[in-house]
Structure 1
Amino acid sequence: MNAQASSLTAQPGVTASYGRSLLGRIGFLPALLILVIVGMSAVDPQFYGPINILNILRNAAFLTIIACGQALVIIGGGFDLSVGAVVALASVVTAKTMGVIAASFPGNDALIIAGGLAAGLGSGAAVGLVNGLCVARLKVSGFVVTLGTMSATAGVALMITSGIPVYGMPQSFVRDFGRAQFFGLPTAIYVALIVLLVMVFVQRRTLFGRYVYAIGGNTDAAIVSGVGTRRHLVGTYVLSGVLAALTGILLTAQVGSGQASFGGDRMMLQSIAAAVIGGVSLRGGVGRVEIVAVSALFLTILGNALNLLHIDSRLQPVFLGIIMVVAVALDELGRRRKLRV
């Protein structure tokens, strides 16, 4: 089976061609990034101030983590609309769990933090598992399944908190992790870099990564080649849920409270936008997480620039929507051009 799958992923349509087509579509991204940076540096000196740069990098780190999971799902031919709700659920579950453990084992910060992290990441994995099983086993559309779990997950997060922020976490978790800086950079940036490196390794060096490309590129061919499509599809959704939960935990540590208002539709839309603008094809089988990270940085800088220019917050989603439409249109035009050739 491994030999057959390796043969499948070695086909031009799965490995070599996705790299070429990807580079063709994302050539405009670095140019846009440089253009925005140079333009804002000339317009507003606050843009390149140390505090603003740290804020940009921190927010880009959050978006990168969640977008990496979203990208993997889309590459596999799926869709995950529940990531924003998972961020909120993981936040409140982590904070609540830490509060409960702290009441039973006061002063044992290591146990409290470990229990809270396990519960938060576990909640994300659970939502991802439900999504994956419904898609892989029941053959339900990923869009419909994750739309439902998004609503249910957000509702559970609100039920747990009644809309009130949850406190009671150890100060060491907030002070020494969430708000700490190493070599002048927030913890979230290092976590995002680790996640990105792991995801690059998974995509390039593991059978799981190759199989996900194969499944997204041609599911029938992957099945014929002996690839276990069901468990690999489930794996993409579980990983997406875990990474969304990790984002929620990092936000909780930074703010110092668990909140059901974290994530939401905005983070979900931004994660999809980062993936699409970063060259991930909505048809599956194409995309690289390192380019998605660049796209996340671009979107974060763009949002920051719009804020500095005092653009009405109600208009900002318009810019995001236009960029997404352009990216999808370029993807479709590139596909049609390739078919003509």
Structure 2
Amino acid sequence: MSAIAATPRVAEVRRLVTFAVPLVIVAGLLVVMYAFAPNFFRVNNLINILVQTSALGIMAIGMTFVMVGGGIDLSIPANMAFSAVIGALVMREAGVAPGILTMLLTGGLIGLFNGVAAAIFKMTPFVVTLATMTVVGGATVWITNSQSIADFPESFFDLMLARPGGVPLAILILLAVALAASIATTSTIFGRQLYAIGLNARAARVARVPVERVLLITYVVSGLLAGLAAAMLTARLGSASANLGNDGVVLDIVSACVVGGVSIYGGSGRPIGAVLGALFIILISNSLNQLGVSYFMNLVIKGVAIIGFIYLDRLTAGPGR
């Protein structure tokens, strides 16, 4: 009896450890930055970190929906780059509103394709989204001929780079999306169904949960948020290109989710955790850059970090997961 009673306590300790590890790492990193790179703490740099977190955080929220349901969407960065390019082409011809709407619709349609393949036709999400990433990434390079698309209307930058109340719009968008996603996952029937599917899809189906429809929605949400991130990144960088979806982005997205407590086994994780994970990843990248660490060593460090957090996730999941 005591062993049974101890099990929840052990699981709680594991969750606390998983939550505490990123905080300890960040605290140690901030001490190092204070000693060796005091410019890190300048207001402009801190705001820049939050702005960089916004696009990654939004894509991580999209990945959170998919991962909670037990799937994965490796095509998010390629989807984002493709949506940015298609929307940019429309924007130069038809204006700002049609361009942004095109980015959202393009991202949503790609997400819909992934959802139909994974949820309706029962294809393996890893393989399907990997194939989508390859096809969409190749199409982006072909359309742009490996060139950047620029020369957008100034009103696009006035809108997307606005600072209402002195706060960059990108940060406000991230907060709004995180709030909406948190409400959707914690206070709606859809959210309860999603977690039930992630924990045990067979039991959820027996309980008459519309498994296919819920999973389809998660991929559409992921695609729509990739389109939103496309608009934000295009405005911040001043151009759209295939490079927006480089190979390192998918690592950052998955890392943000895992660091933020989203389980790769499904059924666990919160959007706000993914946002905090994205902030953790950007902090790591920014601080390593200021310390003069090379881009490739940066990738090595982030790769090692995600392996460590996956191990912690495995411990937290407990037996049978």
Please report the TM-score for the alignment, with normalisation by the length of structure 1.
0.87
Deviation, structure 1 residue 54: 1.7
Count of aligned pairs between the two proteins? 312
Counterpart CA distance in 1 for 2:283 and 2:14 is: 26
Deviations 1:150-180 (A, max 9, x none): 0111112122211222224210111x12333
The secondary structure found in structure 2 opposite 1:183 is helix
Which residue identity is paired with 1:53?
Answer: L
Give the alignment partner of residue 133 of structure 1, picking from 99, 116, 134. Answer: 116
Which residue identity is paired with 2:287?
Answer: A
Deviation, structure 1 residue 257: 2.0
Q: Provide structure 2 residue ranges, at least 5 long, that are not aligned to the other structure.
A: 1-9
Are 1:284 and 2:250 matched, yes or no? no
Counterpart CA distance in 1 for 2:241 and 2:72 is: 25
Counterpart CA distance in 2 for 1:26 and 1:316 is: 23
Counterpart CA distance in 2 for 1:92 and 1:142 is: 25
Counterpart CA distance in 2 for 1:46 and 1:79 is: 38
Matches within 5 A, 1:226-245: 226-245=208-227
Counterpart CA distance in 2 for 1:100 and 1:84 is: 25
- Look up the match of 1:9: none
Q: Provide structure 1 residue ranges, at least 5 long, that are not aligned to the other structure.
A: 1-16, 102-111
Provide the aligned C-alpha RMSD in A.
1.9
Which residue identity is paired with 1:144?
Answer: V
In structure 2, the CA distance between the partners of 1:90 and 1:126, relative to structure 1 (3 Å rule), is same
- Look up the match of 2:163: 181
Which residue identity is paired with 1:63?
Answer: L
Deviations 1:112-157 (A, max 9, x none): 2221111110110111011010011111110000000001111121
Deviation, structure 1 residue 37: 2.2
Counterpart CA distance in 2 for 1:23 and 1:62 is: 28
Please report the TM-score for the alignment, with normalisation by the length of structure 2.
0.92
In structure 2, the CA distance between the partners of 1:215 and 1:149, relative to structure 1 (3 Å rule), is same
Determine if contact 2:146/2:242 at 8 Å carries over to the other structure: yes
Counterpart CA distance in 2 for 1:19 and 1:60 is: 29
- Look up the match of 2:36: 43
Matches within 5 A, 1:193-208: 193-208=175-190
Superposition misfits of 4+ residues, deviation over 4 angstroms: 17-24
In structure 2, the CA distance between the partners of 1:160 and 1:220, relative to structure 1 (3 Å rule), is same
In structure 2, the CA distance between the partners of 1:135 and 1:38, relative to structure 1 (3 Å rule), is same
Deviation, structure 1 residue 185: 2.7
Counterpart CA distance in 2 for 1:230 and 1:199 is: 20
The secondary structure found in structure 1 opposite 2:241 is coil
In structure 2, the CA distance between the partners of 1:258 and 1:136, relative to structure 1 (3 Å rule), is same
Determine if contact 1:22/1:287 at 8 Å carries over to the other structure: no
Identity fraction in percent: 36
Are 1:66 and 2:59 matched, yes or no? yes
Deviation, structure 1 residue 315: 0.8
Determine if contact 1:248/1:263 at 8 Å carries over to the other structure: no
Counterpart CA distance in 1 for 2:317 and 2:49 is: 34
Give the alignment partner of residue 161 of structure 1, picking from 139, 144, 153. Answer: 144
The secondary structure found in structure 1 opposite 2:296 is coil
